[in-house]
Amino acid sequence: MKKHNFNAGPSILPQFTLEKTAEAVIELGSTGLSVMSISHRSKEFTAIIQEAKSLVKELMDIPDGYGILFLGGGASLQFAMVPYNLLNRKAAYLNTGSWASKAIKEAGLFGEVVVVASSKDKNFNYIPTGYVIPQDADYFHITTNNTIYGTEMKSDPDSQVPLVADMSSDIFSRPVDISKYGLIYAGAQKNLGPAGVTLVIVREDILGRFERPIPSMLNYKIHVENESLYNTPPVLPIYSSLQTLIWLKNQGGLSAIQRVNEKKARLLYEEIERNRLFKCTVENPGDRSIMNVCFVMNEEYQELENSFLEFASSRGMAGIKGHRSVGGFRASLYNALPEESVLALIEAMNDFEKSN
């Protein structure tokens, strides 16, 4: 049976990406060689990384002056690389979940960290507002989508100091105003490609503002100067990510995919609210993620949790068990997840309600 893939990450990728990648693993075009077995400095691979960069630029409407990098180490390495390169004395962070907390911990190794607000008091089930960003901070770090808790910042905040964002789980899900950001990073494995590559978009003028010896591989400036080819980049994940970018352009780009994403999320949230068995963990509708929908059994039906998981699994749902720090269920509705899968989940929830 074909599964409906609600995994949080690594997660669903377009069929187009899987097929094109599978072909290129065997033979890239008519080169007679696998994409994994050619030089990363060959004209074939140069064309691949250039096209990937120009599609990122086009889809996200990135002005000149930004470097686009494909790095290794996952989003978690960015938790350290950001402060290594940008934290001279003090940095401001918004604490909206486990990933944000990890980023804060790493920044503490490099200087003073001011947590401007935190939603930890309510198990991160809302996005704090009304905080003040210190004007003397070197940058302000946010996590736009909190994959584990299902909250999302739906608009790009204003910041007088360079804005840095972990967009691992909502990059390419909607248009963003790039000019507001100094640096954006995203591990590929949620909405772009296979694990192993991390996309970094950095405004070049925020780099090199103070003196600190930085190991070459952790130095954004070196990667920008070498056009993301300082060393051997993750060639296969980059090739795969390029296929997703091509697919995304064919879907009509970010505004078009945003409409699809918002519809999928609205349908599922409506069902959770309608269905007497379930409730959302994020109370404020404005804070609810369109990528990761978190819900639990209503108190009086708590004991049905496992039987719903089994029932959903018998209907072909994969990956809907919630993260252990929230419990219940999480349906990740990344770009590549078709509306048909959301409708199948809703039908399963409906049928389960009828029989209980």
Catalytic positions are 99, 166, 190
From 6, 70, 84, 99, residue interacting with ligand PLP (rule: CB under 6 A)? 99
Q: Does 233 bind ligand PLP (CB under 6 A)?
A: no
The three-class DSSP label of residue 149 is coil
Which 282-301 positions form the footprint of ligand PLP (CB under 6 A)? none
Which 50-89 positions form the footprint of ligand PLP (CB under 6 A)? 74-76
Query: Cα(103)–Cα(86) distance, rounded to whole angstroms?
Result: 13
Q: Does 241 bind ligand PLP (CB under 6 A)?
A: no
Q: Does 7 bind ligand PLP (CB under 6 A)?
A: no
Q: Does 168 bind ligand PLP (CB under 6 A)?
A: yes
Radius of gyration in angstroms for the set of CA atoms belonging to the chain, rounded to a whole number: 21
Q: Kindly give, in sequence order, each residue whose CB lies less than 8 Å from that of residue 30, ignoring residues fewer than 6 positions away.
A: none
CB of 171 to ligand PLP, least distance (A): 10
Q: From residue 278, how far is each of 252, 298, 307 by CA, in Å?
A: 34, 5, 13
CB atoms within 10 A of CB 113: 20
Interhelix angle for 235-250 vs 253-274, to 10°? 80
CB of 10 to ligand PLP, least distance (A): 9
Decide whether 104 or 297 has the Cβ nearer to ligand PLP: 104
The three-class DSSP label of residue 47 is helix
Bridge partners of residue 187, in order along the sequence: 198
From 14, 150, 162, 187, residue interacting with ligand PLP (rule: CB under 6 A)? 187
Decide whether 148 or 296 has the Cβ nearer to ligand PLP: 148
Q: Does 319 bind ligand PLP (CB under 6 A)?
A: no
Query: Cα(321)–Cα(343) distance, rounded to whole angstroms?
Result: 18
The pair of structure tokens assigned to 257 is 């995919």
Q: Does 280 bind ligand PLP (CB under 6 A)?
A: no
CB of 259 to ligand PLP, least distance (A): 23
Decide whether 155 or 160 has the Cβ nearer to ligand PLP: 155
Q: Kindly give, in sequence order, each residue whose CB lies less than 8 Å from that of residue 263, ignoring residues fewer than 6 positions away.
A: 339
Bridge partners of residue 80, in order along the sequence: none
Q: Does 147 bind ligand PLP (CB under 6 A)?
A: yes
Query: Cα(202)–Cα(183) distance, rounded to whole angstroms?
Result: 4
Q: Does 166 bind ligand PLP (CB under 6 A)?
A: yes
The pair of structure tokens assigned to 254 is 């970010």
From 143, 191, 228, 241, residue interacting with ligand PLP (rule: CB under 6 A)? 143
Size of the site for ligand PLP (CB under 6 A): 12
User: Contact positions toward ligand PLP, by CB under 6 A?
Assistant: 9, 74-76, 99, 143, 147, 166, 168-169, 187, 190
